Structure 1
Amino acid sequence: MIQYLIKKLGYAFLTLYGVVTVVFLLFYLLPGDPAQMMLGQNESEEQLAAVRAKYGFDQSLGQQYVYFLNDLSPLSIHSNSSDDFTYDDGKYTGVRLISFSATSLMLKLPYLRESFQKSGKKVSLVIGETLPNTIILAVVAITIALLIGLVLGVISALNKGNWVDHTIQLVSTMGMSVPSFFSAIIFAFLFGYLLHELTGLRMSGSLYELDDYGENIQLQWRNLILPAVVLGIRPLAVISQLMRNSLLEVMSQEYIVTAYAKGLTKYQVITKHAFKNALNPVITAVSGWFASMLAGAVFVEYIFNWNGLGKEIVEALNTLDLPVITGAVLVIATLFIMINILVDLIYVWLDPRVKLD
């Protein structure tokens, strides 16, 4: 197990290094002056020069890349004469490990730079304010998809070939074929506008909102319902079909026939033997969909005005806020890698025959 984790962490490091490099080249080789993006149209040459010097835009591409890696690395080297390194409110947050004559080795949190458009606000703070809302939305959406999809898949497998099976398959196919942004518009208009008096739901809204007097922040769980349902429609359809096909395959195995020969009922065979063994492909789908939800909730969050990372990415793209886009991509890539490692461990728990290599 330890050897497996070390190997996986090594692969994760190389993957993240590749993502960091690609992201840097994509965004820092784009045409345009980042200093002008930050200052707008009313800048002077003195202001531009000051911003370029502060953020290192006046240096060569290679130097910027080295500084970019140094900012992201938890172990990094910094000048002893710099006052950017403090414990709380400085540019970097961490502790000094080893001091040399002119530099020190630091253990710090990764520094994702500062937003171009939010008055120098740290990107880590921007992501910290929005990512929890996206995670909540993704967790609720995948939970809805998993619970309903597994039930529909089992029902479809037990009724193979009849009208129940055909109906579920038809609905699943329609669910997979409809784009999320189209479903979001339909659900918002239907349940948030036309049927608002019956549902009590609104077309848009975030998890936290100010009250009518603009004084207190209130928790609005009802605003989670529509975006979570819309975001869960496509994975629900995939899970339903995967569960159906996997359960039918498992039910044809010899040990299932043996279980029936021992006098077990169909309910006992499914719950004690078939169901758990049929979950492997479903877990694969769930892990992939959950990771993609963190990046793919962009349109759903934007349409429902859900204050999450996806909505923040759209706004950053509209304003060319490159540090926010870069930070969001790196955070999503890190979460994706962590989820994949966790899924491999779940495989072993579901099926002891699976070996960690």
Structure 2
Amino acid sequence: MFSFLIKRITYGIFVLAGVVIVVFFLFQGFGDPARLVLGQTGDSATIQNVRKELALDQPKWKQFLFYLNDVSPISINTEKDIQEKQLKGFFIGGKEKIGLKIPYLRRSYQSKRPVITILMKALPGTIILSFSAMLLAILLGIPLGVLSAVKQNTWMDSSAVFTSVLGISAPSFFIGIVIAYIFGFVLHKYTGLYMTGSLYEYDPVSGKHLALQNLILPAITLGIRPLAIITQLTRSAMLDVLNKDYIRTAYAKGLSKKAVVWKHALPNALNPVATAVTGWFAELLAGTFFIEYIFNWKGIGKVTVDALENLDFPVVMGSVLVTASFFVIVNILADVLYTVIDPRVKLTN
């Protein structure tokens, strides 16, 4: 187990290093960050000062090393850097201090706020949306998969398979637009739902209050694809398990069909489903970008799209790094969880 974790963490570090290289050289080549900070009214002297402050007067390779030192949890900084950047962590040394710190994702060009603060404020909205979508997919997908397997070759089975294929194939952004328009606009009188909205609403009288109804449409939209996947996986696993000898033995002992299906077959069919759930949660975190933008849901996706529109590249770069980190962590946890669910699986890869 320990050697497997070390190997997977090492792979994850290489993945994140690749992401850092890509996002830096991709976004560093767009526009002039000094001009983005000051706008079109900045004079040449001020622009040069900002370029020096952002190390834009240095060669690209040196700029990259500075950026790598900022985003790395282990870095070398001066006392001045620690104070100006408000770095949080443990530092030791003299003039040049080496330390273990929270990665410094720099500051927004537009708001001048630390990027990590902006993203951490938006992260709960994305996690809540992702958890809601996955919970919806699990609660509906597993029973639909079981029903489809038990009623194999009937209209129920055909309908479930057709709907699953449609859910997997349809683009999320297109489904989001359709659902928002139909249920949030055309049928708003009956559903009471809106096309857009965030988790909290502000009332001039009562102030800030929770608005869970705004979560319904984006959660359904985001949960359609994992719902289809879970339904298909549950159906396939159940069809395989229902043909096992111990299932026939259970029937021979006089157990009811309900007991055989739900108490004996389903628990043994959930291994691939559990793996898919953990893997798809990472996918959902990345897939919320379009959904949050369509439904104006305040999360990392919405913040990133807004930052792109404003050419606020530090926020975009920070968002990509945070999302990639979650992707790596969740996939490692998925591998470990698979061995907990099925001890027959060995962590050798």
TM-score grouping bracket, smaller chain normalisation:
over 0.9
4+ runs deviating over 6 angstroms: none
Instruction: Please point out which of 89, 93, 102 is paired with 1:99.
Output: 93
Report what 1:8 is aligned to.
8
Match of 1:111 in 2: 104
Paired amino acid for 1:350: I
Residue 264 to residue 348, structure 1, CA distance change in 2 (3 Å): farther
Paired AA for residue 143 in structure 2: V
Shift of 1:11: 1.9
1:136-147 → structure 2 map (5 Å cutoff): 136-147=128-139
Tell me what 1:237 maps to.
Answer: 228
Deviation per residue, 1:119-171 (Å, 9 max, x gap) = x1111011011111011001000110111011100000000001111111122
Q: Is the Cα contact below 8 Å between 2:105 and 2:318 reproduced in 1?
A: yes
**Which of the numbers 284, 291, 303 marks the counterpart of 1:300?**
291
Higher helix proportion (structure 1 or 2): 2
Amino acid aligned to 1:309? I
In the other structure, the counterpart of 2:325 is: 334
**Structure 1 residue matching 2:40: 3-state secondary structure:** coil
Whether 1:194 aligns to 2:186 is yes
> CA offset at residue 254 of structure 1?
3.3
Aligned with 1:217: secondary structure? Answer: strand
Instruction: Find the aligned partners of 1:183 and 1:301 in 2 and give their Cα distance.
Output: 13
| One-letter code aligned to 1:117 | Q
Question: How far 1:298 sits from its partner (Å)?
Answer: 1.7
Q: What CA distance in whole angstroms lies between the structure 2 residues aligned with 1:247 and 1:122?
A: 50
Q: CA deviation at 1:231?
A: 0.8
Please give the per-residue CA displacement for 1:92-117, whole angstroms capped at 9, x wherever unaligned.
12232x213x2111221110011112
Q: 1:192 to 1:123 in 2, by over 3 A?
A: same
Shift in Å, 1:285 = 2.6
Q: Which residue of 1 aligns with 2:27?
A: 27
Unaligned 5+ segments in structure 1 are none
CA distance in 2, matches of 1:208, 1:50: 41
Distance in 2 (CA, whole Å) between partners of 1:284 and 1:305 is 31
The residue type equivalent to 2:62 in the other structure is Q
Give the conservation status (yes or no) of the 8 Å contact 1:276–1:350: no
Partner of 1:92: helix, strand, or coil?
A: coil
RMSD: 1.8
Match of 1:134 in 2: 126
In 1, Cα distance between the equivalents of 2:75 and 2:85?
16
- Judged with a 3 Å threshold, the aligned counterparts in structure 2 of structure 1 residues 27 and 90 are, in CA distance, closer, same or farther, namely closer
| Shift in Å, 1:262 | 4.2
Unaligned runs of 5+ in 2: none
Task: Supply the distance in 1 between the matched residues of 2:339 and 2:283 (Cα, whole angstroms).
Answer: 23
1:160 alignment counterpart: 152
The equivalent residue for 1:349 is: 340
Are the equivalent residues in 2 in contact too, given 1:277–1:350 (CA < 8 A)? no
Question: Share of identical aligned residues, percent?
Answer: 49
The answer for the alignment partner of 1:219 in structure 2 is 210
Q: Which amino acid in structure 2 is aligned with residue 20 of structure 1?
A: V
- Check the 8 A contact 1:277/1:351 in 2, yes or no: no
Secondary structure of 2:132's aligned partner: helix
Q: Among residues 125, 137, 143, which one is paired with 1:151 in the alignment? A: 143
SS in 2 for 1:114: coil
Residues in 2 aligned to 1:345 and 1:270: alpha-carbon distance in whole angstroms = 27
